[in-house]
Each structure stands twice: as C-alpha cells, then as structure tokens.
C-alpha cells in the first residue's frame, strides 16, 4: 500500500528529544516519500477530539535542539477510557472508534505514536483494532523492554550527573552526606548511570532492597579513610528490605516525583537518627524531564524518527523502532510493553559499580 | 606594622568562589609580600580548636574553578558561643580568648574572614577585641549591605536560570504552571535575577507580599493570549499579604531550604485549588550552593582576595572589601552587617521586570 | 511629544543579548506606553531600503535566551556611505535622507539603535540630522566608553573561560604550552577577564606590548616549580614591543578574527623556536559571538531595552543608555564613541592579575 | 597465574575519560583483587625510562570527572623506535627490551595500555614479545575497529555540537555560511554525529569525496526556502572528488589539527569565490580533546577499566576490552588495529542524515 498521509502524536510525560523525532518524521516523510504529515495536538486527546496541525518543513525547522514537544502532550488521556461529557455529566468512556473515525476522515494511512509504556499500550490496542501503527520508544527512565536505550534517558542522566557534581563540592566542604533523589519508580537506570558518572558512594534502586545499616557502614568506612562526606543517589522507587515503597502508587505513566516524605527524605532521616551525621536531600524532580537534549539523544531520536517512517513504507505495522547494539531494528510493540526492563543484579554494570567501591546498601 | 603572617578562614554555607578567594589571598601574600599564610580548618571551629594547615603556592594550584572550599566550613560554630565540653557536659561558652591566644601563639598578625552576615558579625566582634581583621563578603543571596555584589551570587543565579530554561519546555508541552523555589529567606535577589533571565511570568519575593488572586489573574491573562503555561519563581521567604512566612525560622546563617510544606508548595496548592490549572513545584535547594563558579564570580573572588591582603598591608583593619561600581574599596565591617540589603520596590530592576510584563503578585 | 511609534534595529557583528534588548524594547513600548514598534531588517540596510517587520508581543515571545537577532544584522552597511546601484553601476552614496524619509513615511517618532562603536557613530550622525535616536551599547569586546559594561561581553568571557578549562587538562597531560587567541583587536578586556577566570599564566593584550623573552621566562619559571605546562591567552590585537600588529587592518566594525598568521600563531612559533617547548594554538573565533547569552547579559540587555524606551518617553534624544555601577543612566552618544575604552595599565584589575602571578609579557 | 601487580599507562593524544579508566583500574585491582598498581608516567616514555608512580585509592580519588590524565601522555614515544642518546648523539633505537626489563624488575605481571591505534600497535608488539598486555580503546575519533564506541568520542561530539549551536545563531543573524572544521583525518565520525546533532546542512567526511557544486547547490536551495544561512561541518580529512587531502600527512597518532590552509578554509574560499555568499570558518581544534568527559564517557571508561583488570585475572592476554551492543567483551588487539573503522556509505546513520535533508556534497 502506498502511504500518502501519516499522523504523529507524542504521549506521556515530557522527554528531551521529542521534537527531534517529530522533525525527523516530518522531514523523512516529505523529503523521501512525498507524504503529508498531520500532528495531533496534546497526545491522544487530540486524536479523540480531532485537534491537529499540518506539519511541514518550515514548521519543524530549528527544533532539533529544543526540549519539550511542539505538539503538546498529556499523561492523562486514554481513548479507551476517556473522560467524556455525556448527558450533562462526565464519564470515562471508550472513545477509540471516534479516534479511528478521525483518522479515516482525515485520510490518514497510519499513526506514529511516540511514547512510553502507557502510550505504547494504547498504540497496541489501536493496532489490535486494525489501525496501522508504528511506535517510537520514549522514556527518560529507560525501563522499556525490547530496546537497548530510549531517547531522553541520556539527557536525564546528564542532568542528574551535573547535579551530583554540584553536590560534591558542598558535601566535601561541609562534611555532609548529600542525597540526590532521582526518577525511577520501578527501575533504577537513572540512579545507576548518574551514580557511576557522578562518583556516588551509595546507589539505591528499586531492584535491590537496601539495609540502612549497610549505608551507614559505608559512610563510616569513608570517615576512616579521611573522607568525611558521602554522596548517595536514590531512585524514587528505592525501598528498604522488608519495607514498602514510600512513593504513592499512581498510574504508571504519571511518575512525577512525589515530594513530601519521599524515599530520599526517609533515608536522610534514618541516617541522621542512627549515625548523627549531617545529611541533606535534594529532589531533582522535573529538571530531569526538560531542557535541551544531549547530542546522543538528538541523534538517536532522529534515527528513530527516520526509521519509523521507513517502517511504514515497509508495511511493518504494529511494530516499534528499537536500538539493538548500533542498529535500529523493529520489534513487535507488545514485546516492548509486556514487562518493564529492570536493572539485573548480576549485570556487568552493577558489577562494575561494585568494583569501583559503590555500595547498593545490600 | 609589617604583616608577616596572616590567617584565613571560610565561614557559613558553601558558596562558589571560596577557593578563588583562598587562592588569591595565598598567592598575593606570598608573591607580593613574602608573608606566611595559615588556613584554619572548618571555619571558626578551626580557629578555636587550633586546627589549621599551612597554605603555600602548590596547595592553592588548580582550585580557581572548583566549587566548595579546601579549608572546609560550617555554619554552626561561633567562638563567642561555642559548644564546649566542660566538666563532662556540653555547654555553650565564650571561647573567643582561646581563639585569640591561638592566633598569638601562631604569630599571626591578622585574620581574613570570608563569610556572610553571620561570619562577619563574628569578625566584627574579634575586631572589637583588638584582632586585626579584614572581611570578604560571601553569600549567594547577595543580601549583604555595603557591597554592590557578593561573590557566589551570579553562580546561583546561573543555576536557577538554567533550571528555568529546563522547566520552560515541560511547562509549555504540558500546559502547566511550573514553580521554581529558590533561596532567599529575607531578600529576593536570586528570584528577581533568575526570573528576569529565565523569562518568568511571576516572581514572588519577601519584599513584596503577594495576593494569590493576582497570580491567578496573570495565569489567566496568559491563557487568553494563547500561552497555556506560566513560570513562577518563588523565593523561599516569599509570603502572602497578611500571611506569615512559611519557612521555619532558623539561625540566620543556616538558611538551608526547608523542603516540607515550603512556600512553593503552598503557592502550587493554592493555584490548583482556586484555578484548577495543573501546577508543579521544584525546589532547587543545595544545587544553588555548589558547582564551579561562573567566570564573573571567579574574577570577583580573585579581586576580593587580592584586595583583602592589600587592605592588611595598608593597615585597614576592621574593614571589609567591597565592590562599588567597577571598583574594589574597603568599608567598615559594621556597615555591612547592620542591616540586610533588600530589593527596593521602586528600584529600576523591579521597574524593568514590570515593564517586560512580570507580575510580583501585588 | 507623545511617542507613538518607534523603530529599532541591530547593527554590527552578532552579539549574545540582542534578542533580549529587542524583546524588552517591544514589551515596554507596548505594555507601558501603547506604542507601535517597527523592526528594521538587517540593520541600517533595512532602514535605507525600507525593509521592516512589525514587532508585537507574540513575535518577541520565547527569544530572551536565544543568541543572535531576529531582525538580522550586517556589519557592512552605512547609510552615509551606501553601496547603491546608480545608472547601472555600483557606487557608495549618501543615502541617509532616503532612510530619514522612510522613518517619516512610516510615521516613526524615533529610532533605537542597538550597536557598537560603528553603529553608534552612524546613530550620532542621524541625531545630528534631527532624527530622535537612542543608542544601546553592544559589543562583546567591552571597549565602548561611557558605560561600565556592554552586554554580550560576559557571554564571550564565559565561552573563552570554558575553552581555557578544556585546554588546561590537555596542556597538563601533554606538558605543553597552550595558547588561546580571543577577540579584542584594540582592547584586551576579553583576554584579561577570561585569563583571570581560566587560570592563565600569561595574558597578552594590545595595551601592553610584550617581549617574547618575558613569556619564555614565565614558562621556564613554571617548569622549575614542576608545572610543565603553561596557558597563554592572547588578544588578537596583542603585539610585541617595537612590533606591529599582526592582524590585518579592516574596517573597525568588522573585527572578525583573522585566522592565517594571527598573533597567536606568531607567539607559538616564537616560543617553539626559542625554547623548544611544544606549543599549540586554538583560535576561538566566531564561537565568542554566538550562543545563548549568560544570565548576566540577558538581565543587562533587558534593563537596557526598557531604559531605552523610557529615554524616548523622557525626550532624551541623542543619548545612549549606560551602566554605571548598579545604575542605568543615559549619556550623550558622542561620549561613547569618541574613543575606545582600553584596559588601564595601573588599574586594580591588572594589578590583581599580577598579584596572582599572571605575566603580561612586559 | 595469580596477578599481583599490574602496570598501566596512557598513550597518544589527550582524550576525555582517561582518568576514569585509571581510577577504575586502580580501584578494581585493589578492592577486588588486592593487587598493586603502578602507573607509568608520560606513556611509553615512562615505561622505557622506568618513570612511574604507585597508584593507590587516595591517589585516584576525585578524578572521575576530570579531563586529561594524571599519568601524563605523549604521542611521540615508541619503545620500538625510541629517541636515544647513544655515544653522544641522538638516534632512534629499539628500547623494547629495556621496557620489558623494567616491568620484570618491578615485578609487574602485566600491562594495561590505554590508547588508540598507535598505542595499541605498540601494545600488540609487546604482546608478541611475551608481555601480558590488555588494551583499552581510546580515541575521540571513534575510528578503532572491533569496538562499537571508544570513550572520549561522545565528549568530542558534545563539544562540536555545542559549537554548532553557537554558530547557528550567528549564521542566521548574518545570513552567512558557517563552517566548522572538526577532527577526523581518516574517518568522519565526529563530523557525522555532530552534524546530525547540531542541525548541519552539509557534512563533509573523508569517506565521501565532495563536489563543491553540490555544496553550493544546497546553499542555494536553502535560500529559495528563505533560509539565508547554512551550516557546514567538515572533517579535517575531507577531500574533494579527484582532489588530494589538504592536511599535511603526519604520523598517524599525531592528528592535531592543521590550521593554516586546512580543508575548512579551502571549502570557505571556494564557496565565496563561486557563489559570493559570505562564509566563515571556525577550527575547533584542541577543544575537542579536553574538558570534563560527558557522563556517557565516564561510565564507559569506568566499565572498560573494570573489565581490563578482570581480563587479566581471567588470563585473556593480548586482548582489548570492547563495547558490543550493551556488553563489554574482549577481542584480540590485532583485530582492533588491523584497519580503521570508517563510516559506511550505505549505513543507516548516513541514510538517516540524508533523510533529514543533510547533503554530503556528493
């Protein structure tokens, strides 16, 4: 089938590199295949409500290095469970057919969904209903299966690593324990990479339940080596052995940081209580989602965008573009969303961290 | 009097540029005047406990661009009210004579105190007791009288401005109000400068009590101009009209950010409650104190360090080096610590902010 | 006279902060005084050729942190000596009356000229012919009289200082002399500030002719202190004692770096020839003019833009806005362009540099 | 064989991440295997001249984020062809046995060589003579076979991409063609990645000889789309069809940029001559080798360092650690040095670049 017109939307939380994908999709579709490109506004909400803009070459010019998404996004709207005004009251209804009708009436041959776990689940359901869909894996958390890396992740690691560089000097000057709480509710990728890069002494991740005594042991051990400060990186989903996760359980896609009483705060209080060492917490929060993408993410996002259009031309519907090694391939969307990709305890990365003296509190 | 040996210490919270001052003091004292330089460790604590290192040229090499202080610092120790173990129990006692004796026994002719309001108060008291003291004004808050600018301030503004750049893209993509809480318990300098630089729509500072309705009015006005997001910078000491400051009252020097239930959180909750616009808060916290100083601060800190040594040679004891316009001068320390320098409501800077459309919530 | 409509243009070389001024001028004129604002395209060329755009609030939204100028600029076009096609051949003619007629026919009450020495000279000549003009001082070189600082300068210093940070590690690892050639044909402000910030060992500026032997003496002296590397910052207009400036003499405004055989290269060759120490040169060039303005420049540019509009309202024609200490004032344009502001040999800044061990090769 | 003592050295040009490898090697050897670690000073020179330091935990503390190498490096010294003073005159002699004797007399069981093509060639020759060697792939150029990526490369791309961001604003404001010449004498990896990230319009690399007419065609085509500026990235080894490489042929390891009359300059002159569009060149040079490594490189360098020590323990002599996909493996050194890894013309990366409209001048 000749693809003449494609739609594209960005779903879920903000992520550096979204604009690079939109730009690459648009340029590739127009330059190589003479397609028309429609951008739905504010994610799946625009698809249901038929709110869209036409994307052309001037419209995507100069956005490669910009954070955010020119299409807007939300992490609340699901066409299969959509807040609808019905007979004067609001109800959650299945509006997927309305969305599909919009695609048809616009003459759109297929849809590129740029999103994380939640958005790709929805994409899969549209695929099951016969829509030609290609997914692009997006999450700063890097916890999506079936791809080596998601775009946005390296930018988030960069932001967290820069924060650690800043905290280092203050920790050292004041002889403090400094805790940085980063994103990662279900997987510790950001914490692990930022900790390796930023010279952390302790890294706490959801995959490895921690014992507070082990953390304090590490702090004391450093004191004995005349290092009167320690740096701890805590993923928001880290939890003590036999404990429960401190963060509130929200819908999976909406993992904005929970500030009050988060795990970083808990670890700090426990350290101060037990060891009497002055401890401070910084919650990095939204700073991890914004800002200019680092070159690595701009390039990967561009490659993903190009590959997504080519996947359409090749008729590979129901797939997601994916990085495996140095290669971009396509995989079934459902392989990506079946289960989260977690840090393996015996992986070379964790072993490398231990080798350079990092404690996981276990 | 020929000055043969000087002491130097850093007091109060961490601040980018401390090392540049230490380096400049040491190099100037040795290169120009053949003095010896003693660095007391961990601020006034080292002075009381006679804990020090000898500073020489190799020891201050390569530290100009580094955050923190190679001498260590604390914001808790005051020789005039010093936690002392006396007959088996801890008491706060005046240990200033012990400190002065240490200076004498080390043969130190004078002391350079690099610090903010609290440390300079102590310096003044030593000066009153006959110690030859010169102060160097340090605070990221820029709220010290008798100097145009303190070093560290421009680095903190830079960090806050970069954070705003990051929040901008997410605010815009998600149509949110994004709030950044920055330091400034008594004066709004960081909030004002960062807001001007980072394109804030609303700036809330301690000097201008805000009305929540005025903030929401601004957010709505932007909606009507098709700008579905707003950026708000809040100094930690901002407070509503007829309200009380939300932060806890701690000792002046120790203005580390109070996370739980800070003013940023309050403003966010009030906006969501009244206007139903999705609002998120980020507390910048310790990130403002750390990291490499920006060139402006490295240069100013260097000039201050050189000038402090020259002030000694010129016998200008009891003074603080100060920037006025493009010139470094000396002023009596007591002029600097009498009252905090606050943002003036009718100043050109505030007027400029209003002219470009920034609301102060008043 | 009520000012109803103003024109604005940017002239001369690119400079970080131009967009901040344009934004502040436009917002102030519209928000406070309900004026119309016309932006002439490509500097004085647009004024002569009546090429312009209407500036409104949406048009200046989101440009505060962007380098460059949305109005375009050139450093070649002078209305009083304008390349004109006349009877089929090109001639340089006085087209200032044509420019003035354009202003009249557009109903423009006055013109804001954002520019450096060259552009402000032209502004002065229009003022002499009766046009209501206000100038805004722009040059990364900071060599404009009658203002403490020009916007763009601190960004250029930042770029040069970051480059020195990068060169440092390589110099140290390879035991090399590393030379960084920065802008500054007639004044050494960038070299002096970047050198102070970036820990240079030698700074060569036009104001202090150097002796190559003194440079090598410094390199050798460092060797004896076991520092087998040296960092030299060279302003492009630096010159040896009894020597002549190496750069080509171009028109004053057009001080783009001359790459081939520049002074940095000459110094490197002389060092290698005489001392046999491995020496490398990097010419920073255009990188100094571009990129996002640092917060200091964004704020100053904003203040200048606001003040320029207010100067019009106050009828202060023929003036330039200027920073003196912490205050924005207005000064006659001719005070600014009479002579370049050079580094004074006995200034506190030069003395501070010498105190921390920096050699000027004299 | 139990490995008790290992040596490590860094060879060739400076590269961000060297210190991270040294730190990881030292920490792993001491923490996990209780080895002693000897660092030879200034690369192979130190090995021949028996100049070394003992590496311990305090000695590698705080260097993870620092550019350069604490061990020093040179790109001139080859033990198999070593400048030796013999009977009063200097000759190039084989000093490899002297190096091997040094290893023996120090009781060193094996040698970790961190280097690029040249250094790994030498490592292979020592391996052939029976020395237990493990290599770590280092080059900012990324042109080493048998590994997906070398450390240092992503930092160089970051520096080049930031430079392009800066040049963009000036190019746009002045309607110029801006050329950035980056490293890459034999392979265009930096140019390709930086160009993709920085939004280049033309990328010239050694692997794809260019026609100047094709470049000008691209510039003109952009003019017709009302984009009056173009950005060109040129690898230093790029060359015109039927032309010869412009750079001087130096020894392979020593690819410092050739400033005078480099290829960037040639392309600029040709564009100005043929099209009359104002064109400027910036040569990035040494800035690409220095500065703090980006997190990606710090992490990879750490993993390489850990893996290199483990390779020793596993007896995998004569190998090099290598990244393949997400995994660190070992490969024979000779696989890495047989031939340079070049950009493939039909690779997905080149195709992606073409899809987003980038011309390779072919």
Number of residues that make up chain A: 362
Q: Which residues of C touch D280 (CB under 8 A)?
A: 256, 285-286
Model confidence band, residue B321 (pLDDT cutoffs 50, 70, 90): very high
Model confidence band, residue B249 (pLDDT cutoffs 50, 70, 90): very low
- Each residue of C243-299: pLDDT tens digit? 765 544 333 333 444 344 589 999 999 999 999 899 999 999 999 999 999 999 999
| C-alpha pair distances (Å), A214 with each of A184, A209, A243, B247 | 22, 11, 15, 33
Which of D65, D303, D307 shows the shortest C-beta gap to A165?
A: D65
Asked if A352 lies within 8 A of D302 by C-beta distance, the reply is: yes
Inter-residue contact C326 to C149 (CB < 8 Å): no
- Give mean pLDDT, residues D264-286: 94
Instruction: Determine the distance in angstroms separating the CA of D282 from the nearest CA of chain C, rounded to an integer.
Output: 6
Distance CA A84, CA A94 (A): 9
Say yes or no to pLDDT of B259 above 60. Answer: no
Q: Which helix (H) or strand (E) holds D82?
A: strand D82-86
pLDDT at C109: 93
Provide CB contacts within 8 A for B314, sequence distance 6+: none
Distance CA D259, CA D239 (A): 16
Percent of chain D's residues with pLDDT above 90: 89
| C-alpha pair distances (Å), C163 with each of C179, C196, D67, D161 | 11, 13, 13, 14
Distance CA B56, CA B74 (A): 23
Neighbours of A260 (CB within 10 A): 11
Best of C174, C253, C269 to substitute, by most chain D Cβ atoms within 10 angstroms, is: C174
Q: Domains of chain D by range and CATH?
A: 5-151+293-337 (3.40.50.450), 156-289 (3.40.50.460)
pLDDT in tens, chain A (362 residues): 678 999 999 999 999 999 999 999 999 999 999 999 999 999 999 999 999 999 999 999 999 999 999 999 988 899 999 999 888 899 999 999 999 999 999 999 999 999 999 999 999 999 999 999 999 999 999 999 999 999 999 999 999 999 999 999 999 999 999 999 999 999 999 999 999 999 999 999 999 999 999 999 999 999 999 999 999 999 999 999 977 655 443 333 334 443 445 899 999 999 999 998 999 999 999 999 999 999 999 999 999 999 999 999 999 999 999 999 889 999 999 999 988 999 999 999 999 999 999 999 99
Do the strands A319-324 and A327-332 form a parallel or antiparallel pair, or are they unpaired?
A: antiparallel
Best of D22, D76, D174 to substitute, by most chain C Cβ atoms within 10 angstroms, is: D174
Distance CA A55, CA A30 (A): 10
Provide CB contacts within 8 A for B288, sequence distance 6+: B140, B156, B159, B160, B182, B183, B190
Beta bridge partners of D332: D319
Which of B169, B173, B285 shows the shortest C-beta gap to A282?
A: B285
Distance CA A186, CA A117 (A): 12
Interface check D307 vs A, CB under 8 A = yes
Q: Does D117 participate in catalysis according to the annotation? A: no
Core vs surface per residue D229-238: b (16+ CB within 10 A) or e: bbbbbbbbbb
Neighbours of D248 (CB within 10 A): 9
Q: Catalytic residue numbers of C?
A: 141
Locate the chain D residue with the closest alpha carbon to C176: D74
Distance CA A326, CA A119 (A): 25
With a threshold of 0.90, tell me whether the complex ipTM lies above it. yes
pLDDT at D167: 96
Give chains near C: 3+ CB pairs under 8 A.
B, D
Neighbours of B354 (CB within 10 A): 17
| C-alpha pair distances (Å), A244 with each of A11, A209, A249, D147 | 30, 10, 11, 42
Interface check B173 vs C, CB under 8 A = no
- Each residue of C139-165: pLDDT tens digit? 999 999 999 999 999 999 999 999 999
3-state secondary structure at position D47: helix
Distance CA D30, CA D22 (A): 12
Burial-class residue D163 by CB neighbours within 10 Å (0-12, 13-18, 19+): buried
- Each residue of B105-155: pLDDT tens digit? 999 999 999 999 999 999 999 999 999 999 999 999 999 999 999 999 999
Which of B295, B303, B348 shows the shortest C-beta gap to C328?
A: B348
Inter-residue contact B213 to B176 (CB < 8 Å): no
Backbone angles phi, psi at B284, to 5 degrees: -75, -35
Inter-residue contact D24 to D55 (CB < 8 Å): no
pLDDT at D253: 36
Neighbours of D97 (CB within 10 A): 11
- Each residue of C87-99: pLDDT tens digit? 889 999 999 999 9
Inter-residue contact A40 to A7 (CB < 8 Å): yes
3-state SS string for D295-350: HHHHHHHHHHHHHHHHHHHCCCCCEEEEEECCEEEEEEHHHHHCCCCCCCCCCHHH
Distance CA D336, CA D116 (A): 9
Interface check C227 vs D, CB under 8 A = no
Count of H helices and E strands in chain C?
11, 13
């Amino acid at each position: 089938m000749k693809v003449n017109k494609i739609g594209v939307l960005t779903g879920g939380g903000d992520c550096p590199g979204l604009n690079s994908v939109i730009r690459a999709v648009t340029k590739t579709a127009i330059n190589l295949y003479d397609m028309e490109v429609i951008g739905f506004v504010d994610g799946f909400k625009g698809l249901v409500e038929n709110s869209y803009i036409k994307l052309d070459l001037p419209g995507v010019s100069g956005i490669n290095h910009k954070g955010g998404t020119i299409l807007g996004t939300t992490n609340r709207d699901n066409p299969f469970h959509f807040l609808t005004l019905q007979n004067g009251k609001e109800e959650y209804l299945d509006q997927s057919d309305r969305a599909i009708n919009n695609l048809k009436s616009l003459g759109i041959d297929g849809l590129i969904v740029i999103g994380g776990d939640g958005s790709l689940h929805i994409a899969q359901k549209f695929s099951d209903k016969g829509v030609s869909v290609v997914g692009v894996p997006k999450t700063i958390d890097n916890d999506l299966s079936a791809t080596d890396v998601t775009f946005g992740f390296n930018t988030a690691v960069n932001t967290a690593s820069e924060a650690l560089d800043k905290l280092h000097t203050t920790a050292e000057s004041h002889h403090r324990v400094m805790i940085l709480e980063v994103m990662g509710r279900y997987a510790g990728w950001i914490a692990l990479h930022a900790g390796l890069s930023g010279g952390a002494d302790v890294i706490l991740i959801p995959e490895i339940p921690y014992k507070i005594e082990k953390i304090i042991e590490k702090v004391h051990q450093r004191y004995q080596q005349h290092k009167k400060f320690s740096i701890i990186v805590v993923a928001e989903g880290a939890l003590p052995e036999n404990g429960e996760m401190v963060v509130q359980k929200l819908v999976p896609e909406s993992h904005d940081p929970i500030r009050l009483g988060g795990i970083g705060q808990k670890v700090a209080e426990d350290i101060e209580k037990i060891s009497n060492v002055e401890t401070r917490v910084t919650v990095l929060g939204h700073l991890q989602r914004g800002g200019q993408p680092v070159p690595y993410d701009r390039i990967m996002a561009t490659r993903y965008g190009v590959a997504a259009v080519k996947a359409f031309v090749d008729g590979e519907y129901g797939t997601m573009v994916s990085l495996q090694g140095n290669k971009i391939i396509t995989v079934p969307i459902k392989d990506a969303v079946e289960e989260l990709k977690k840090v393996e305890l015996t992986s070379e990365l964790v072993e490398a961290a231990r080798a350079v003296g990092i404690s996981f509190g276990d």
